């Protein structure tokens, strides 16, 4: 069977466009299970737009999403119904001035307060985060300068 998927962070898509898409998806009862981030492919006009920020056909500037946080925001907006995305979607809606989409009304994308699943996902994310300065980053300990030289101490 076919499983349709959407591409997030495509050149030309803005957060406002993703919010409109989320409202459309909610209105039509569609919940995409697969969302792919845009990956620049060789010999593609979208790749040219992604790297230059200019549409080569019209020579007009085009918004492109390159920062990881912005890409995650667009992806989360397409999957607004996932509890793990509540905090990202909430921040995006507040920043865009769309508080009307937060609440318990039929047209709202997310509830006013996070669900227990959303809180658990946030806690899990916090415990899985790596703190480079607080712990070893996974490198093997060194045994000194030029360990293979003649006369080096053995451990």
SS3 letters across 57-120: CCCCECCCCCCHHHHHHHHHHHCCCCHHHHHHHHHHHHHCCCHHHECCCCCCCECCCCCHHHHH
47-73 per-position pLDDT tens digit: 999 999 999 999 999 999 999 999 999
Of residues 137 and 117, more confidence is placed in: 117
- pLDDT beyond 80 at 121: yes
Is 143 a domain residue?
A: no
User: What pTM was estimated for this model as a whole?
Assistant: 0.75
Is 139 a domain residue?
A: no
* Averaged pLDDT score across all residues of the chain: 86
Is 148 a domain residue?
A: no
Give kind and range of the element (H or E) at residue 6.
Answer: strand 5-8
Q: What's the structural domain count of the chain?
A: 1
Q: Which domain holds residue 82?
A: 5-123
87-99 per-position pLDDT tens digit: 999 999 999 999 9
Is 15 a domain residue?
A: yes
| Average confidence (pLDDT) over 115-143 | 71
10-45 per-position pLDDT tens digit: 999 999 999 999 999 999 999 998 899 999 989 899
């Amino acid at each position: 069977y076919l499983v349709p998927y959407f591409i997030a962070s495509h050149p030309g898509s803005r957060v406002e466009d993703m919010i409109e898409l989320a409202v459309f998806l909610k209105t039509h009862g569609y919940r995409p299970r697969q969302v792919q981030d845009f990956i620049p492919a060789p010999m593609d006009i979208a790749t040219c737009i992604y790297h230059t920020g200019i549409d080569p056909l019209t020579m007009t500037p085009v918004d492109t999403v390159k920062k990881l946080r912005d890409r995650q925001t667009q992806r989360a907006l397409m999957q607004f119904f996932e509890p793990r995305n509540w905090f990202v979607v909430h921040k995006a809606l507040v920043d865009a001035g769309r508080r009307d989409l937060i609440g318990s009304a039929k047209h709202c994308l997310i509830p006013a307060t996070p669900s227990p699943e959303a809180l658990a996902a946030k806690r899990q994310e916090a415990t899985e985060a790596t703190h480079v300065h607080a712990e070893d980053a996974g490198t093997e300990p060194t045994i000194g300068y030029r360990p293979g030289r003649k006369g080096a101490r053995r451990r």
